[in-house]
């Protein structure tokens, strides 16, 4: 037993030295790990994200040490006292080792008291086995610490790999971002191009629709079946032709008709005057209507006392009429002239000055008066008149002054059409008839006319208020007879006075089917015999026409 006790201090001394060596090795390892970790942190210029931050080596070692202490149970107090001091942190300071050693000594004290009692009965083999187990525990503890240190050292490496991967991804990302931005720009550009193309297409379609509508309106207004007199709408003054070209008087604008005859020496000198005073010839043959129709005509206007009311009545009954105006009466009534055209009525010339002796003195005098009226209407409305009516009728005062043949020949050569009448409401006989009497005369003479084309003469000048009052009854009476009221157009078959007819002398009418040019020749041949009839007609009617 004495030998055993003598060898015990020596063995314990060896264990202490071995533990110190192990501790020194562990401290070197921890110092190396710490140096590698600090060098790595110096190389890293950018901090890792919070989620990827490396776990502190000290914390890992503490966790490993605590786990080792819980697993390790020293067998006796002497081994606990002789055990090397174990550091709890990676810096290896002596103060931390002392603080860590104290709780372990306190934990081993009870075991020491317990182990000393049976120590006398322990055999050398048992002691050697116990020492071997103690040594294995210390080695296991060292092994755990090394593993913890290695794990702590490996975390920054892993994080560094992640960082490099992130940097590599960031280097590649600009290419992807650039490509994405480029695709977005191309998409926006294509969208803008589509929007522009759509806008241009819509504008083009709208413009096309408007152009087509305007063309159809221009081409379609005044165009109906010319063979049916009830559908004639092309007025002698069409709103869609002869627009004002310039400020030159219409009679002075050279026309194709003038250029064709300007070198013709067989024509009289007055035929070379007024090179622009020509009418547009009708495109269709003028035929008698298949059924009876009535053309309401008003002479000697406009007047502000009668013309506006007449226009109102015509508008109320949806009827179109024809106005043969005296242009000396236009001043102050310009709006009425424009209203006649705007409301679809036909505008024709009666005269500029309603003076028989002056205008019928010679062909030159008549052309001068007609040109004055022609230019005034053109200047006011921009239209060139196509039709006219002789004051007093074609075989009345015109023939009385002996220039019938020359004037009619020149006017028809220029393409103008003149219109006499074959029905009359008697409103020019001094106002001796009441409104009801005027209506009875008008309806009766329209209904008994031998022609289907009836031209009814009325007046809208000053003092014709009874005509205004009679007009509603006249329209209703004519329509009651099944007769349609229409305006004169280019295709209207004209009424020209002649002689020796079976019709009343006041309203003698040409019944032949010859055109206006031929009718003027026949009228000139019978001029002498028609003079007495015209005078009789004038004396009976006392009309101002």
DSSP result, 491-525: TSPP----SS-SS-GGG----S---HHHHHHHHHH
Q: How many CB atoms lie within 10 A of CB 146?
A: 16
For the chain, give the number of residues. 545
Select from 429, 413, 394 the least CA-distant residue to 507: 394
Q: Which tens digit of pLDDT belongs to each residue from 470-493?
A: 999 999 999 999 999 999 998 899
Contact 253, 276 (CB under 8 A): yes
User: Residue 536 and residue 545: Cα distance in Å, rounded?
Assistant: 14
More confident residue, 472 or 2: 472
Torsion angle of C-alpha atoms 298, 303, 306, 309, degrees rounded to 10: 100
Q: Which tens digit of pLDDT belongs to each residue from 312-363?
A: 999 999 999 999 999 999 999 999 999 999 999 999 999 999 999 999 999 9
Contact 415, 279 (CB under 8 A): yes
DSSP result, 413-468: HTT-EE---SEE--TTSTT-S-HHHHHHHHHHHHHH-SSSEEEEEEE-STT-HHHH
Q: Which pLDDT band holds residue 180 (cuts at 50, 70, 90)?
A: confident
Angle formed by the axes of helices 404-413 and 363-381, nearest 10°? 40
Residue entry with tokens 């208020």 = 465
User: Residue 538 and residue 308: Cα distance in Å, rounded?
Assistant: 29
User: Residue 278 and residue 255: Cα distance in Å, rounded?
Assistant: 7
Contact 363, 410 (CB under 8 A): yes
Q: Which tens digit of pLDDT belongs to each residue from 73-89?
A: 444 444 444 444 444 44
Give the DSSP letter of residue 290. S
Torsion sign over Cα 38, 40, 44, 50: negative
DSSP result, 348-389: EEEESS--HHHHTS-HHHHHHHHHHHHHHHHHHHS----EE-
Select from 35, 36, 23 the least CA-distant residue to 142: 23
Please compute the mean of the pLDDT values over residues 419-448 and round it to a whole number: 91
Torsion sign over Cα 532, 538, 544, 545: negative
Select from 390, 298, 371, 368 the least CA-distant residue to 336: 298
Tokens of 161: 């790999």
Residue entry with tokens 């001796």 = 432
Cross-strand partners of 294: 454, 485
Q: Which tens digit of pLDDT belongs to each residue from 269-328?
A: 999 999 999 998 766 667 788 899 999 999 999 999 999 999 999 999 999 999 999 999
pLDDT for 302 equals 96
pLDDT for 215 equals 82
Give the DSSP letter of residue 235. B
Contact 495, 451 (CB under 8 A): yes
Select from 374, 48, 417, 98 the least CA-distant residue to 242: 374
pLDDT for 187 equals 87
Q: Which tens digit of pLDDT belongs to each residue from 125-136?
A: 788 888 888 888
The rounded mean pLDDT for the chain is 75
Is residue 293 left, alpha or beta, with left meaning phi > 0 and alpha meaning psi from -120 to 50?
Answer: beta
Contact 425, 299 (CB under 8 A): no
Contacts of residue 523, Cβ cutoff 8 Å, sequence gap at least 6: 394, 395, 404, 408, 496, 497, 498, 510, 530
Give the DSSP letter of residue 489. B
Which helix (H) or strand (E) segment is 10 a member of? helix 2-43
Q: 400 by DSSP, 3-state: which?
A: helix
Q: Where are the domains positioned within the chain?
A: 2-177, 291-541
Select from 380, 335, 412 the least CA-distant residue to 237: 380
Give the DSSP letter of residue 265. T
pLDDT for 109 equals 47
Select from 90, 97, 98 the least CA-distant residue to 26: 90
291-541: what fold? TIM Barrel (3.20.20)
């Amino acid at each position: 037993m004495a030998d055993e006790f003598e060898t015990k201090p020596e063995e314990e001394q060896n264990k202490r030295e071995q533990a110190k060596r192990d501790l020194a090795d562990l401290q070197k390892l921890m110092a190396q790990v710490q140096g590698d970790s600090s060098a790595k942190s110096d190389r890293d210029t950018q901090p890792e994200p919070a989620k990827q931050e490396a776990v502190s080596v000290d914390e890992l070692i503490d966790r490993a040490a605590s786990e080792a202490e819980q697993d390790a149970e020293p067998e006796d107090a002497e081994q606990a006292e002789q055990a090397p001091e174990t550091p709890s942190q990676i810096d290896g300071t002596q103060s931390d080792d002392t603080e860590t050693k104290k709780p372990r000594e306190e934990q081993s004290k009870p075991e020491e008291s317990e182990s000393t009692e049976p120590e006398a009965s322990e055999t050398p083999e048992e002691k050697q086995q116990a020492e071997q187990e103690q040594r294995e525990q210390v080695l296991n503890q060292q092994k755990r610490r090394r593993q913890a240190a290695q794990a702590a050292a490996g975390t920054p490496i892993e994080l560094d790999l992640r960082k490099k991967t992130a940097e590599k991804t960031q280097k590649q990302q600009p290419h992807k971002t650039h490509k994405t931005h480029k695709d977005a720009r191309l998409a926006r550009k294509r969208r803008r191009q589509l929007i522009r193309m759509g806008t241009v297409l819509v504008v083009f379609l709208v413009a096309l629709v408007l152009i087509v509508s305007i063309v159809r309106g221009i081409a379609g207004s005044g165009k109906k079946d010319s063979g049916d007199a009830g559908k004639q709408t092309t007025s002698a003054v069409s709103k869609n032709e002869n627009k004002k070209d310039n400020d030159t008087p219409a009679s002075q604008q050279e026309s194709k008709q003038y250029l064709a005859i300007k070198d013709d020496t067989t024509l009289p000198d007055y035929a070379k005057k007024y090179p622009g005073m020509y009418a547009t010839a009708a495109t269709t043959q003028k035929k008698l209507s298949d059924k009876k129709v009535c053309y309401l005509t008003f002479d000697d206007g406009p007047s502000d006392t009668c013309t506006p009311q007449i226009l109102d009545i015509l508008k109320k009954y949806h009827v179109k009429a024809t106005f043969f105006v005296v242009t000396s009466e236009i001043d102050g009534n310009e709006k009425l002239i424009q209203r006649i055209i705007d409301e679809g009525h036909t505008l024709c010339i009666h005269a500029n000055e309603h003076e028989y002796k002056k205008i019928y003195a010679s062909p030159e005098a008549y052309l001068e008066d007609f040109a004055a009226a022609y230019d005034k209407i053109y200047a006011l409305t921009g239209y060139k008149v196509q039709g006219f009516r002789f004051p007093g009728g074609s075989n009345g005062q015109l023939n009385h002054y002996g220039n019938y043949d020359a004037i009619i020949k020149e006017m028809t050569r220029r393409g103008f059409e003149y219109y006499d009448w074959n029905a009359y409401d008697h409103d020019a006989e001094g106002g001796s008839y009441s409104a009801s009497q005027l209506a009875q005369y008008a309806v009766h003479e329209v209904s008994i006319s031998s022609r289907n084309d009836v031209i009814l003469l009325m007046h809208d000048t000053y003092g014709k208020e009874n005509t205004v009052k009679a007009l509603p009854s006249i329209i209703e009476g004519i329509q009651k007879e099944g007769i349609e009221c229409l305006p004169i157009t280019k295709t209207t078959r004209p009424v020209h006075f002649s002689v020796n007819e079976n019709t009343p002398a006041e309203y003698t009418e040409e019944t032949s089917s010859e055109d206006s040019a031929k009718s003027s020749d026949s009228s000139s041949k019978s001029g002498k015999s028609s003079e007495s009839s015209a005078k009789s007609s004038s004396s009976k009617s006392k009309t101002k026409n």
